[in-house]
Chains A and B, each alone.
Chain A
Amino acid sequence: MTIREAGNRLRSGEISVVELIEQALQAVERDEDLNAFLTVTGEQALQTARLLDRELRNGRDLGPLHGIPIALKDLYQTQGVRSTNGSKLFDDFVPDEDATVVKKLRAAGAISIGKLNQHELAYGITSNNPWFGPVRNPWRPECIAGGSSGGSGVAVATGAVFCGMGSDTGGSIRNPAAFCGTVGIKPTFGRVSRCGCFPLGLTLDTMGPLTRTVEDAALIMNAISGFDPRDEATVDRPREDFVPKTNATLEHVRVGIPENFFLERLHPDVERSYRMAEEQAERLGGELQRIGIPDPEGLNVIARTTLLCEAAAVMRPYMHRRDEIGGDVMALLDQGTLLPATDYVNAQRVRRVMQSQWRAIFDKVDFILAPSAPCPAPELGQATVSLNGMEEDTRLAATKFLRGVNALGLPALAIPCGSSRDGLPLGLQLIGPAWSEKRLFAYGAALETAVEHPGSPATKK
């Protein structure tokens, strides 16, 4: 069921908001072994649901998100509800104000049923959380759900909620979207307010939704986008309606097919899935154009340097509490602390050059079609992945197609595309120029109808 379908059923009286929330809470309980939720706010959600049912009966309709169950990654601060950022450091932190995005979603009528598990401090891609336990992949529970928004991916893939809000600093929306078989949008840097969210990479962090369909993601973006004086990165732009028209095609759309990097050392199933998407893009009328990606390894180095330094700067007040930070995250914070400031400064200058090189690419193509991950979800605890005979560090492999987009500030829409032979979902990303989300949603909606969808994970009865 999509958000629009749920909305139609609410307005026809076929279902009530209370029933929608009850179904969501039952799904959470059914799949609790996947450990997607840290806090379930069932009573609050039902109370709000009763109110919203009354409002709808009285003719007060808040719009497409009225009564829709959602959940929030635990890095979103929620008034009166524990918000841990997946960290022991904030285990008992109860904010006195909602994050801006949370306020906007509530005002639009969405109902949060709880807070989602994630990688500790949003600083990793496994969501194998040392304090709250691992988030498990709903398709194969011995595998990771991806991260850092792992709980968001699971909550959406299992059908518990229509939207799991996540964040993307180096791939943390797109990676779990790929590993869990959902849609996800990493917006343009500055599109969505981060006020009230725990920071990690000051010039990299973006907030966005994971959903089951492209249209659902667009509906959420309509609610959450916009300037906020409390996040100085946000830009005051005219309001846009991101929802794609029906019968979208790729007629006359210039589709960038990378000649290098994104299609190297792929798991065979990922390569197969990509080639299928490429064929479908052409069948939909897209004009495929081969493009060279300028120094992608260099871009990844710049992205890593930026994140290492910014995250260490943000976490400086907590660095002495080493026993309360997991080993993998502590190692990254130490690396960032040790990098000289001169390296950060010069990395920012190189970053600007690279942004200019990528603007030139988008003079030639409307979007770049690329895999989100080079492989399906690895197993929990798997330190390396084997790609064309080479062992690669799991974290670096899982982020290598993703983190450069954060360094550039560009938007990218993740959509599911097929499954591996083992039954794990696979995903693609559509990378666009800055502020092109409306077009990306249109392109994504067209492709979504044409590529193979992994379906829904088997769930316990």
Chain B
Amino acid sequence: MLTNPAIPREAHEKAQPVISGLRDQLSRLFDTIPQDYTIAIRFEAGEDQ
């Protein structure tokens, strides 16, 4: 179970089923990502100075 000390126990219990459901759906999508740099996270070093 994912936890965060800043969140009260009741709120955790309320959030868990929603997050579990979402993460189940995400895992299907994540299986399709190539494990290389083909689709990475976009970041740029900025322009010439």
- A, B bound: yes
* Contact digits for A331-371, partner B, Cβ 8 Å, 1 yes 0 no: 10011011110010111111011000000000000000000
Q: Is A104 an interface residue (CB 8 A)?
A: no
Q: Is A330 an interface residue (CB 8 A)?
A: yes
* Interface pick from A263-271, A295-303, A402-410: A295-303
Residue A397 at the chain B interface, CB threshold 8 Å: no
CA distance A301 to B41 in the complex (A): 18
Instruction: Given A331-B11, A345-B41, answer yes or no on A350-B3 (Cβ-Cβ < 8 Å).
Output: no
A residues with CB within 8 A of B: 295, 297-298, 301-302, 304-305, 308, 319-320, 322, 330-331, 334-335, 337-340, 343, 345-350, 352-353
Q: Which 6 A-B pairs have the closest CB atoms?
A: A301-B25, A338-B2, A334-B15, A349-B39, A346-B30, A350-B29
A301 and B33 form a contact (CB under 8 A) = no
A304 touches which of B4, B16, B22, B32 (Cβ 8 Å): B22
User: Which residue of the partner chain B has the closest CB to A316?
Assistant: B6
Classify the secondary structure of A's interface with B. Answer: helix
Q: Interface residues, chain B, CB within 8 Å of chain A?
A: 2-4, 6-8, 11-12, 14-16, 18-19, 22-23, 25-26, 28-30, 32-33, 39-42
Closest-CB distance, A53 to chain B (whole angstroms): 47
Q: Given the known inter-chain contacts A301-B25, A353-B39, please indicate yes or no for A338 contacting B19, CB distance below 8 A.
A: yes
A320 contacts B6, C-beta separation under 8 Å = yes
Indicate if the CB atoms of A334 and B7 lie closer than 8 Å: yes
Task: Establish whether residues A353 and B7, one from each chain, have CB atoms under 8 Å apart when the complex forms.
Answer: no
Q: How far is the CA of A330 from the CA of B8 in the complex (A)?
A: 11
CA distance A338 to B28 in the complex (A): 20
Could you pull out 18 A-B pairs where Cβ atoms are within 8 angstroms? A297-B25, A298-B29, A305-B22, A305-B26, A320-B6, A330-B11, A334-B7, A334-B11, A335-B15, A337-B6, A338-B2, A338-B3, A338-B15, A339-B19, A340-B2, A346-B26, A349-B40, A352-B39
Contact yes or no, B25 A349, CB < 8 A = no
Query: Which residues from chain B contact A337 at a C-beta distance below 8 Å?
Result: 4, 6-7
Are the C-beta atoms of B29 and A301 separated by less than 8 Å?
yes
Cross-chain contact A319 with B2 (CB below 8 angstroms):
no
Known contacts A337-B4, A345-B41, A353-B39; is-contact A331 B30 (Cβ 8 Å): no
